[in-house]
Chain A
Amino acid sequence: MAESTSLQKKRSGYKIRVEPRLDVPPAWYPLLVSLGAIVFALFLGGILISFAGGDPIRSYQHIAKASFGDIGVLSDTIVKATPILLVALACSVAFRMKLWNIGAEGQFIMGAFGASAIVLAPVLSEETPRWLYLTVMALAGMGMGAIWGFIPGYLKAKLNVNEIISTLMLNYIAVAWVNFWIFGVWSEGGFQMSPKFPNVAWLPRLAEYAKEIPIFRGLTTHAGLLIGIVAAIILWLIVYRSRWGYEIRLIGDNAQAAKYAGINITSNIIYVMMLSGALAGLGGMSEVSGVVHRLQTAPIAAGYGFTGIIVAWLAKLNPLVIVVVSVLFGALILAGREIQPSGVPKMIQGIILVSLIASDFLLRYRVRIVRADAEE
């Protein structure tokens, strides 16, 4: 009896059916799917590496070692992750409201400019207490970023100018603007960079505390990380626990419903673009003050603004998840260079991205394997 039914099963065959999910999957399910997607991507990447003549297992071991292997490289990973973190936070809040701010790059650069201007103008004397000096630099960076967010926000709100185009164009203007200052006014001996900042303008690094805690010797992780984590927590509270955040989420999900609930969409567009710009600008400040220590285009305009877009999406716009994803991206950028300056590591990054984004499908649809004869 049992035999005959199993035989029949074989004969009739199976069918794969895809149906939309009508319920909410349990909380662990999205995490499992994402992990699965990364494992799948690493598997594909392994095939790629072996085609390129490498040993996949050893390569991955090397990547892991070069980014998380010891405290020194871990610190470097975090330094790379810090600007990505702040920029991704900036993107996430704009995207939450379906404002496609791809100008985080420009807002980041303008933030770096604003913070540098405090040092180079100079606005404050070097005798100013360090905490005050750095606070003013951070505010200047956020202010410049907010202005760079306000412009497209205002144009969008009042004149319905497409923010994708305006933010993209403002990126180029930001680079040109900084170049103008470092090629001329603030040029150090004709080089395309400003003079080095005095110590008072440096965000504290772990290495500074090596006397008290020997293990911190040589570690370049700076206070920008702390700023980023605090910003992430505050942003999480704003988005999920504040009245304003509720308005942002409502507008983002259904602008008509927001209007129906009596929410002013126009002013929210401007405010959110300014918040987004301010966060990116803070990232720029953290980078000049914590890493570069001078105003210079190449290390500032390094494409963090665009990496931030990807990180924000992968983290599903959740500020706390962005912290984790930023560190993973910092690791990929750092360790990738260990294998090949460009090429294979970039390709693996790309594969991971595509796999993660494609895995979203599994969250919205259920794939069922059914017996062909079970068809109704």
Chain B
Amino acid sequence: MTQTIPPTPDAPFAVEMRGIVKRFPGVLANDHVDFELRAGEIHALLGENGAGKSTLMNVLAGLYRQEAGIIKVKGKPVEFHSPRDAIKSGIGMIHQHFMLVPSQTVTENVLLGLDDPRFFMRLPEYDAKVAAVGERFGLKVDPRAKIWQLSVGEQQRVELLKMLYRGANVLIMDEPTAVLAPTEIEGLFDILRSMVAQGKSVIFISHKLQEVTAIADRVSVLRRGVATATSVPSRGATRQELARLMVGRDVVFALEKKPGNPGKIVLEVKDIHADNDKGLPALRGFSLNVRAGEIVGVAGVAGNGQSELSQVIASMRKCKQGQVILNSESLTNHNTLFGIQHGMAYVPEDRNHVGSAPNLSVTDNVIMKKYRQPPISHAGMLDMSAAEKLARELKQAYDIIVPNVSTPVRLLSGGNLQRVILAREISGLPNFMVAVQPTRGLDVGAIEGVHRLLMAQRESGAGVLLISEELEELLSLSDRVYVIYEGKSMGEVKVGGVEPDESLIETIGLMMTGTPLDQIQKEGVGANG
């Protein structure tokens, strides 16, 4: 891919953001972030999930108010109280989830919320206007088509059209390629190039290095709410450099890790293919294995097929091809119960909506996988006193802080709820466990507790598959780490000691952004810099 438009280092600033601070309960999402966008450039904003990219751009688009810092548009300070103010200053954001009315036509969607036309729709007249805007920027969409008839790529063009029709000069695109097929991505890039050629500026939020180096003129990188690079020309930047800026290298805590003693293979995943909820391929031939007595990590940026992988292993999602084998027995496309009965524990990603029943009591939640057998049930009837006894024992053993076991779990804090789930899963004495994002949203103390429980599983001889977006967590707990990218394995790396070296992190960072391990080794990357 060649850049048709030369970078414009001296063009005036279209947008300047200085010292932006935005706090959410318990999180500093943006910590004095500076950001600048020049007229006529494509500027990539790079960072991991939760790095604060979307927050920063939501501030610029008027959805959030910053707590400190100033925004200037074309050199003039502005204050946005709503997205309407932002669009008046020519700033429009296209979100990952489209805001379109499926039963209405393209033109109707474009006109939605505008004062013109005032009363009568006079659609044919406006169809022509919308088509003219589309033509100017190379956005081919039929104005009379209904949204539900359009592909995802076409719907994205309608979103762009909406913003261009409103006169936006700065277009913020939040991970626009995440929903697109590879051929559609090329089309989107062509559109973006033709827009900047006509003087518009584009902010392109992404975590995919290939795309960033292909389309962007300059790059800014965020990590944990802090800008680690501002306006680096993407031509001069190496991928390794960007990967390091994005992923970072500070391991905050180290857990005591006894030398592993891996036994026989407990779980084997062979060449699985599966679709996501939208029916797009999420896993494309992924394979891994987990041995008894080891923790195997799966690293990757969110949305690369991790959730689908865990769901296929737990039989909560059908796979189209490939095999899942637990203790040399095939689980492939069985029901969930089969896995439970064969000693699989599953700590799901979403503890509120999958892992627990919020309005049921702690007791009801801990018997979820045990209610079928004695001592909890006999001849179809539940023994509530046995169930409560179990719940009280687990409350004690796992330090679940709750007044009594008949409390509904919706009243529990995230850390306590996670302990309820782990208590349930571990007390089933599993020989294999999948844990997905087990520490997301927990405070430091709770995270440590969860880590200790996972380590204890490893020491007791169970195999653990840990799927996480926290690289530090993966590196401090795992014996081996697979890296997943767009549903494919980028390779497997051994994690030796407690203190992982820099080149390992850099390698994983590159793999997470789409470079296979064998290619990295061939190119001889891995030394510092």
Contacts and interface: CB of A to CB of B under 8 A. Distances in A.
A262 B340 contact: yes
Nearest to B350: A256
Interface in B483-505: none
Nearest to A21: B411
A237 B384 CA distance: 12
Contacts of B337: 262-264
Given A24-B407, A243-B372, A257 B355 contact: yes
B336 A243 contact: no
B382 A243 contact: yes
Nearest to B361: A24
B370 to A, nearest CB: 10
Given A24-B411, A242-B380, A249 B336 contact: no
A24 B408 contact: yes
B336 A254 contact: no
With most chain B CB atoms within 10 A of its CB, the pick from A23, A241, A260, A263 is A260
A242 B371 CA distance: 10
A262 B345 CA distance: 12
Contacts of B339: 262
Given A253-B358, A257-B355, A242 B382 contact: yes
A1 interface: no
B335 A262 contact: yes
B381 A242 contact: yes
A339 interface: no
A152 B408 CA distance: 32
A198 to B, nearest CB: 39
A249 B368 contact: no
Nearest to B341: A262
A260 B372 contact: no
A22 B408 CA distance: 10
With most chain A CB atoms within 10 A of its CB, the pick from B355, B357, B381 is B357
A237 B382 CA distance: 10
Contacts of A264: 335, 337
A249 B355 CA distance: 15
B355 A246 contact: no
Interface residues of B, number: 36
Contacts of B403: 23-24
Contact of A246 (B341, B346, B364): B364
Given A242-B381, A243-B380, A250-B360, A256 B407 contact: no
B316 A259 contact: yes
A262 B428 CA distance: 14
B381 A254 contact: no
B348 interface: yes
B353 interface: yes
A23 B337 CA distance: 34
Given A262-B335, A262-B336, A254 B353 contact: yes
Given A23-B411, A257-B355, A261-B369, 11 more contacts: A242-B380, A243-B372, A243-B381, A246-B364, A249-B364, A254-B354, A254-B358, A256-B354, A257-B353, A260-B316, A260-B355
13 contacts: A241-B381, A243-B371, A250-B357, A250-B364, A250-B368, A253-B358, A254-B354, A260-B355, A261-B336, A262-B335, A262-B339, A262-B341, A264-B335
Interface of A: 22-24, 237, 241-246, 249-250, 253-254, 256-264
